[in-house]
Amino acid sequence: IIRVRTNADGSLVDMRSVSRVGVSDMGANAARIRAFQQALRERGI
């Protein structure tokens, strides 16, 4: 889930990722979110 909201300073991006199968994904979802955040930063978003 990705939610983008505007605020007084620009915008705020909230991200959430949950495993669909099993209890743990061994950190894979967190790694995907960090990679996506890095890609946004590299593009100046």
| Domain membership of residue 34 as a residue range | 2-42
Global model pTM greater than 0.75? no
What's the domain count of the chain? 1
Three-state SS at 32? helix
Cα dihedral sign, 27-28-29-35: positive
- Per-residue pLDDT of 5-37, as tens digits, reads 999 999 898 998 887 787 788 888 999 999 999
Please, which residues have CB within 8 angstroms of residue 12's CB and are 6 or more apart in sequence? 4, 5, 6
pLDDT band with cut points at 50, 70 and 90 for residue 42:
very high
Q: Work out the widest C-alpha separation in the chain, in whole angstroms.
A: 40
